[in-house]
């Protein structure tokens, strides 16, 4: 769907150069929900805005469905904007227009549809985002979550193949955030739409993304499947973002010398999460396994677990336990 090659962006402000993107290379597949995470100022908004040329790259190429959009003239650009929808943190709705008129706007500017066709399409979109009863209200009469639903309906009006989301839930409370994320996932599945979203929150990535890229100080520092990046973050920035998401209990106040056995952190992904592995291993060896801390949850649709366990037994038996972990493909890290 998208291939970004050697993308650079330098802003010029009062004759000073400000680098926002350095040598970005990324490939995003059709139908994927792809997340880009990073701290404030890392270059996220600049990156996502280059994908519909709201920002012009300084150098490099961006292929969308095999066309290099950086070469587009204004006629092509017009068509690109119809193929690529975008939603924003602060919704960017027209305050003097009703909900229906906001959604109708992008349909109207194409000049392609009759008034009746547009009315039907708006009705369909209102239904899709669950706002049928609010069609004649003005943005000021809506909650934040409802405003973003209007933003989503408007972005989908012209049947885009790609939806860009710039911190689309950052202005919303946690519960509303979840309902908007569910709507995005629903749209991704129902319409097969590719979604690229940027955020500074790992929880959002974990809830709906298939793959993620971590951007720090203008560069991509890590890319991978969400489960891999989340459970085994490589770059220090990624490790911090995961730690701050408070998904895993931190073991900071766990004193290793309080335990006489071996402390081991286990990480497992997929169906194995719901198997009685520890019971099986205990039955097969003489080792006593005590769970000290743990999380069993999901990354999008993938179950995973992370447990801190204490192993008590002879060295030989503990070696056997590790062999079992390897057989079950349970990642294990000895802490003491
Ligand atoms: N229009 C602009 N003009 C000049 N500098 C900009 C502009 N937009 C962003 N920047 C700078 O580019 C860098 C990346 O910004 P941005 O892409 O907004 O990051 P993020 O979305 O990750 O917070 C920052 O140093 C920011 O100050
Ligand atoms: Mg931003």
Between 251 and 319, residue with greater pLDDT: 319
- Residue of minimum CA distance from atom 25 in ligand 1: 41
Q: Which domains does the chain have, with CATH numbers?
A: 2-244 (3.40.50.300), 256-334 (3.30.70.260)
Residue to substitute in 8, 9, 11, 237 for testing ligand 1 pocket (most ligand atoms within 8 angstroms of CB)? 11
Residue 46: CB within 6 Å of ligand 1? Answer: yes
Cα 57 to Cα 3: distance, rounded to the nearest angstrom: 14
Q: Is the pLDDT of residue 248 over 80?
A: no
44 pLDDT more than 70: yes
Give the residue whose CA is nearest to atom 14 of ligand 1.
43
Q: What is the pLDDT of residues 228-241, one digit of tens each?
A: 999 999 999 999 99
Q: Which atom of ligand 1 is least distant from the CA of 200?
A: 22
Q: How far is the CA of 45 from the centre of ligand 2 (A)?
A: 4
Ligand 1: does its nearest atom lie under 6 Å from the Cβ of 233? Answer: no
The closest residue, in CA terms, to atom 20 on ligand 1 is 41
Residue 53 has pLDDT above 80, yes or no: yes
Nearest CA to ligand 1 atom 27: 41
As a whole number, mean pLDDT of residues 65-82 equals 91
How sure is the predictor about 244, in pLDDT bands with cuts at 50, 70 and 90? confident
Percentage of the residues of the chain whose pLDDT score is greater than 70: 98
- Strand bridging mode 194-199 / 33-37: parallel
Burial class from Cβ neighbours inside 10 Å (0-12, 13-18, 19+) for residue 126 reads buried
State the Cα–Cα distance between residues 187 and 184, nearest whole angstrom.
5
8 A C-beta contact, residue 180 and residue 169 = yes
Query: Tell me, what's the pLDDT at 312?
Result: 94
Residue 13 Cα: closest atom of ligand 1: 4
**Residue 45 in contact with ligand 1 by CB distance below 6 A:** yes
Please give the pLDDT value at position 108: 95
User: Average of pLDDT values for 24-33?
Assistant: 98
170 in Cβ contact with 145 (< 8 Å): no
State the chain's mean pLDDT as an integer: 93
């Amino acid at each position: 769907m998208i291939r970004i090659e050697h993308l650079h962006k330098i802003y010029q402000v009062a004759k000073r150069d400000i680098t926002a993107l350095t040598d970005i290379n990324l490939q995003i597949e059709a139908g994927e929900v792809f997340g880009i995470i990073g701290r404030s100022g890392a270059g996220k908004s600049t990156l996502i805005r280059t994908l519909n040329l709201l920002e012009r790259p300084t150098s490099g190429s961006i292929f969308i469905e095999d066309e290099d959009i950086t070469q587009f003239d204004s006629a092509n650009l017009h068509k690109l904007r119809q193929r690529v929808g975008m939603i924003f943190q602060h919704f960017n709705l027209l305050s003097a227009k009703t909900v229906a008129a906001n959604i109708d706007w992008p349909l109207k500017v194409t000049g392609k549809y009759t008034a009746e066709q547009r009315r039907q399409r708006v009705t369909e979109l209102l239904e899709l985002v669950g706002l049928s009863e609010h069609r004649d209200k003005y943005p000021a009469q809506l909650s934040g979550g409802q405003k973003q639903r209007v933003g989503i309906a408007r972005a989908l009006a012209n049947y885009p193949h790609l939806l860009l989301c710039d911190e689309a839930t950052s202005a919303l409370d946690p519960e509303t955030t979840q309902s908007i994320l569910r709507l995005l996932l629903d749209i991704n599945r129902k319409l097969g739409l590719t979604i690229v979203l940027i955020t500074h929150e790992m929880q959002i990535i974990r809830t709906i993304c298939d793959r993620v890229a971590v951007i720090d100080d203008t560069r991509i520092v890590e890319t991978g499947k969400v489960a891999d990046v989340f459970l085994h973050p490589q770059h220090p920035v990624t490790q911090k973002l995961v730690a701050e998401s408070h998904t895993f209990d931190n073991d900071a106040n766990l004193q290793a010398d309080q335990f006489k056995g071996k402390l081991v952190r286990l990480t497992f992904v997929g169906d194995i999460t719901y198997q009685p592995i520890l019971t099986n291993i205990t039955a097969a060896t003489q080792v006593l396994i005590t769970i000290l801390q743990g999380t069993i949850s999901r990354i999008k649709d993938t179950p995973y677990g992370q447990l801190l366990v204490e192993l008590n037994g002879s060295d030989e038996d503990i070696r056997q336990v590790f062999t079992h972990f390897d057989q079950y493909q349970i990642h294990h890290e000895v802490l003491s």
